[in-house]
Structure 1
């Protein structure tokens, strides 16, 4: 059920003043300037990134800020100053590992769904949106509304609200309401729906295998409801929906990012979407493996997207778009329609009335209230999957000597995101009275020198990694030592990310899903493990992966 206390954003028509600005601006743009408005270029905090997009008249910039907030604000100011038309400023505001280093550490979407409190979801999304304004963001590439169906998927996992359509819809609606109440445009992704293919659209075109009845009952229902509730933008993924195709040939497997059938006929015609449709990153393998770049750049716009996301060669891609218009692969009508939608979104957000200082406000970051909300969500998310031997709660009397075996820390995918560290877990256990040491592959623990073996595993959903399996070689020190099993020591495993890792460790009797390794989660975990708090999380997915033997 949707929380009745959460305001529902509604798509609204432009005011007379806003429509006049859109019409006047559109009429004033040359064909070349209109082409620029079709692009959203990624910009990190390197000076070279600013120079790479200078003079192209881009319609939007996607910010990948570093840890230095002052420098990130200076970069945003430079982008605004060089833009003749106010640009949209987007960001990946998803929480968890996909976070800005200067912002409050918030759980990822799956952890938030485990807490299962839409009012709290609203609070968290509002915090994330308001803090993102510190670097000028007015467009959030969230929420993810994919369905966790293929448990081996490395790219959906913790980024989604789970497997249950009503729960996904409740939390996505709260997220969108909060984001748009904060003055940012939300973006539901990834159209037409990911999660049933365990492959990664960053590497190849993935396929949504549902028939249309099943699709309309799941993804179709989600998108229809979010459109009715006024989501301003949607992201078209490099995902095929062959069931919608009239003819089941190669064209049926075209990614949505270049599919007029999915974008124009299904999304706009059947579902009634009126907002801006942005492609997913055009540098991803799901598109680059489907067609040549010279064909793909104009095809994105011609087939229903209003904006192309990211480029490895901004100058070259602008030239390809112009060439597409010149040769007829891109129609003037589609360019005008797309640019009109880009300008309309800017008007709805009030960008045409905003000074640069207005777009870089002084924002309260990591306030006491924001941290309290993060702590509440972290505590509510913790999910006890099973405790067959009755190991919990842990006690310094019975389990004083704890050995922690942790997977190697891996680099995060998003530049500027905070690195993962398990120091908060270690320190909290020590404060609770435990003696804690790291697993030594050359002197493995025994029942005589250790009271508990704590496995710390998992990472959040991450693009382009080969698998989400437990890395036993990393845990135990080598490939040969990966085969060790320490059945003589009470053992606990905690997954700080992918929620399906029990599949790789069915013999472990006590298993916790924590979903994220942010500091509030690690602190809350120790309180739950020691019995100071409970495990209130309700799993948003099937952590047993449909395998009954994992319950024992």
Structure 2
């Protein structure tokens, strides 16, 4: 195989990142030389606005026919403008709480239609992980729930809705990130499950996604000793080729999660991780947000060298590149759909779960307890602030109750938390506030795993998006409800 052909094949499997909302010269040159596509990241300034993003992707397509990817789950993990204002779409936990598969299909179809309008054609969603560990630091509200069958039926609906809008869906994080208590951005999380348990839990939603003809599956950087022998699943031939391709029969595109994550590249570096992922059976390599010109070229060189040295079969590289071409061919004939924002608000409203008796809230003070978010979510805005006439956000681990109680004297009090079950300081502060103000309303905008003892007004939103917050604000009387979107669920 001549060098130019081999280099072109190596480029065809890469999805690097770049900075800014205009295509840099190096990227256009790489596209002309056969680069498979790009991954867009809000933190790189790729998404300054929808008009700018549409112009950017159009510029890319004047040079080549790239696969343009983004990590737009809706919910708390949002990149399409929602990183500045929070997503108008509720996430998977809210959709799972409603448990209406047609509504999930509508929400994902509308979200994908918005992606298609700006030129994105592969979405790294849905997350079909079964959230088996309450203390999971990276999945949580990104999952439809903890029941494999529930997750499976919504995984299928999400895949169907996405692809009805002409965008390829990507089920993640194979073989399942929901039973971990570690973040794969920082290490290699352990999934302590034998093959039988994986079949009964983690693999159930992936089978449903495959049955719904999902076009892509993303690997997770997970240590599943029963399968991987200690190496991450992304680099495991047993996981990708043996399990996903062989046992489950998936013939679509296998995409890696970002290879800059420590769970994948660790001490071996991104070029070497790329070679190993290809050898394991991956087809498209997401390099990560900081991995741009230099990493792209170093990775091309590493792949070429691995083929020359016999560490990577040329046929495996050709197969990976061919799967990318097949995906582009599917996209060329894919359907289109219109947006359906009312479905988003309907889902957020129906997801609300309220218990207790709603008190009068005269001149309410809204106290939001800040807590660190996970890396996947990033610094996305959240909370009831847009509808609160008086709101204070405090450090949930360090704030004292006294000043807050003084400020709320003679007024209604709304306390807002996010995954309080994961933050002992938040729980202590909530208990102190409620001891003095049992008439307060507690709003949980993460997973409703913990709640204080005793009778109290408690509202669970199953997410912290703009849609979730608006639905909660309506129920609390902070915002007037309009006619769109349906009523509140119980």
Q: Shorter chain as normaliser: what TM range?
A: 0.7 to 0.9
Query: Is 1:393–2:358 an aligned residue pair?
Result: yes
Q: Which one of 98, 102, 107 corresponds to residue 90 of structure 2?
A: 107
Residue of structure 1 equivalent to 2:409: 449
Task: Pick the aligned partner of 2:232 from 252, 255, 267.
Answer: 255
Secondary structure of 2:113 counterpart: helix
Q: Deviations over 1:371-413 (max 9, x none)?
A: 32122111101123x53xxxx2232xxx424332212487896
Root mean square deviation of aligned Cα: 3.4
Report matched runs for 1:295-306 at 5 Å. Answer: 295-306=272-283
Give the Cα–Cα distance (whole angstroms) in 2 for the partners of residues 96 and 145 of structure 1: 14
In the other structure, the counterpart of 1:512 is 459
1:176 is aligned to 2:159: yes
Out of 70, 73, 78, the position equivalent to 1:94 is 73
Cα distance in 1, alignment partners of residues 442 and 114 from structure 2: 34
The higher radius of gyration belongs to: 1
Native 8 Å contact 1:148 1:160 kept in 2 = yes
Give how far 1:52 is off.
4.8
Matches within 5 A, 1:121-520: 121-244=104-227, 252-289=229-266, 291-311=268-288, 312=291, 313-350=295-332, 370-384=340-354, 386-387=355-356, 392-395=357-360, 399-408=361-370, 419-427=381-389, 436=390, 438=392, 443-445=403-405, 449-458=409-418, 468-469=422-423, 472=426, 484-489=432-437, 490-502=439-451, 505-506=452-453, 509-520=456-467
User: In structure 1, how many angstroms separate the alpha carbons of the residues matched to 2:408 and 2:367?
Assistant: 17
Return the offset for 1:288: 2.1
Normalised by the size of structure 1, how large is the TM-score? 0.75
Distance 1:180 1:296, change over 3 A: same
TM-score, normalising length: structure 2: 0.84
Given the alignment of the two structures, is residue 78 of structure 1 paired with residue 59 of structure 2, yes or no? yes
In structure 1, the residue matched to 2:397 is none
The structure-2 alpha-carbon separation of the partners of 1:447 and 1:258, relative to structure 1 and needing over 3 Å to count, comes to closer
Cα pair distance change 1:121/1:29, threshold 3 Å = farther
Q: Do the aligned residues in 2 keep the contact of 1:282 with 1:309 (CA within 8 Å)? A: yes
Size of the alignment, in residue pairs? 461
**Unmatched tracts of structure 1, length 5 or more:** 1-25, 246-251, 428-435, 461-466, 477-481, 538-552
For 2:39 and 2:448, locate their aligned partners in 1 and report how far apart those are by CA, in whole Å: 29
Shift of 1:414: 7.1
Report the secondary structure of 2:436's partner residue.
coil
1:343-367 CA distances to partner (integer Å, 9 max, x unpaired)?
111112127xx9xxx9xx9x97xx6
> Secondary structure of 2:156's match?
helix
In the alignment, which residue of structure 2 is the partner of 1:541?
none
Relative to structure 1, the CA distance from residue 241 to residue 414 in structure 2 (aligned partners, 3 Å threshold; closer, same or farther) is closer
Distance (Å, rounded) in 1 between the aligned partners of 2:127 and 2:107 = 15
CA contact (8 A) 1:101 1:416 kept: no
The residue number in structure 2 matching 1:528 is 475
Secondary structure in structure 2 of the residue aligned to 1:234: strand
Over 3 Å counting, the alpha-carbon distance change for 1:273 and 1:486 in structure 2 is: closer
Classify 1:348/1:28 alpha carbon distance in 2 versus 1 (closer, same or farther; 3 Å): farther
Distance change in 2, residues 1:126/1:404 (3 Å)? same
Which is worse superposed, 314-323 or 94-103?
A: 94-103
Shift of 1:46: 4.2
